[in-house]
Amino acid sequence: MKQKSKQQKFTSKDFGKYFPNDEACLEWIKNHRYPNGILCVSCKKITKHHKIAKRPVYECDRCGHQVSPLAGTIFHKTTTPLTIWFDAIHEIATTRTGFSAKALQRKHGVTYKTAWRMFNQIRRLLTDNADIFTGEVEVDETYIGGHRKHCKTGRGAPGKTAVVGIAQRQGKIVSNVVTDVSRYTVMPLIKKNVAKHTMIYTDEFVTYFTLDKYGYGHEQCNHAKEEWINGNCHTNNIEGFWSLVKRGISGCYHAVSPKYLQLYLNEYQFRYNHRLEETPMFLTVLNQI
């Protein structure tokens, strides 16, 4: 069996070397967006451009037409230095549990509102168009929200948000905030992300009882009877992801409103799905711009 390559690291020392100032960050964005050179819309061909002093703009050497590499990106019209933006991306890419807006505020002296908005903008980039899952797949639901004393936990607990996750063994994960966990809500997600005739492993939740009627193989473990593994049937992969998400939210962010929970799920999901790639996670996230 071929051994998988280990993901390369992009350390803080590397960050300081490659992105020491805003000019270096802008140059990277320009080269990333225009790898073959900038197409001048006035000259109607690729021409040489030079950087305008004190502005994030490049000007055509022939006709003077100007273009901003930041237009249409999360950096568009930003007044925050690009080095802080890039450092925020580096922090969110190199952590496992999360990096809070409060920590970014303390590190760079920006306002909390600015730091919070920056991270939300970055999280909007962290979306994956995963292929349809095949082989062996695990499906599970969980509930995320603040703990309240003397309140019910688990399914039906007040103040919590339902989330459904689908994990392909030795592959990727898809997680979605849902309004409820009925089969009318869960089954469309499964049909959208999982190929027919795929073997699906779940717990004993009644929503999954009709999977075979939709053309899927189905085996289940009865968690209520403390049956965690039944032959090849278990939900350890998706439950491990839930554990990572919940520890990160409670330990780093403390609380997340239902309105923005999907963005946070995207963050954890993106890191999980790209964890086995050789490219450093920071560059993988940065390429999303």
Per-residue confidence band for 147, with pLDDT thresholds at 50, 70 and 90? low
Under 8 Å between Cβ of 151 and 236? no
pLDDT at 3: 47
Residues 199 and 108 in one domain: no
CA distances from 116 to 103, 120, 121, 205, 266 (A): 10, 6, 9, 37, 16
- Give the number of domains in the chain: 2
Is 90 exceeded by the pLDDT of residue 43?
yes
Lowest mean pLDDT among 100-104, 136-140, 155-159, 169-173: 155-159
Is 60 exceeded by the pLDDT of residue 160?
yes
Q: Whole-angstrom Cα distance, residue 196 to residue 194?
A: 7
Average pLDDT estimate for 4-17: 84
Average pLDDT estimate for 15-40: 95
The answer to whether position 69 is within a domain reads: yes
Domain that holds residue 216: 136-273
pLDDT at 179: 94
What SS3 state is found at 140?
A: strand
Residues 147 and 94 in one domain: no
Residues 253 and 143 in one domain: yes
Encode pLDDT of 245-272 as tens digits.
999 998 898 889 999 999 999 999 999 9
Residues 163 and 123 in one domain: no
Residues 145 and 243 in one domain: yes
Under 8 Å between Cβ of 93 and 281? yes
Residues 231 and 268 in one domain: yes
The answer to whether position 81 is within a domain reads: yes
| CA angle, residues 254, 284, 280, in degrees to nearest 5 | 90
Residues 105 and 195 in one domain: no
The answer to whether position 144 is within a domain reads: yes
Residues 140 and 201 in one domain: yes
Is 50 exceeded by the pLDDT of residue 119?
yes
Per-residue confidence band for 1, with pLDDT thresholds at 50, 70 and 90? very low
pLDDT at 2: 46
Q: Order across the sheet with 66-67: list the strands.
A: 49-51, 58-60, 66-67
Residues 207 and 122 in one domain: no
The answer to whether position 48 is within a domain reads: yes
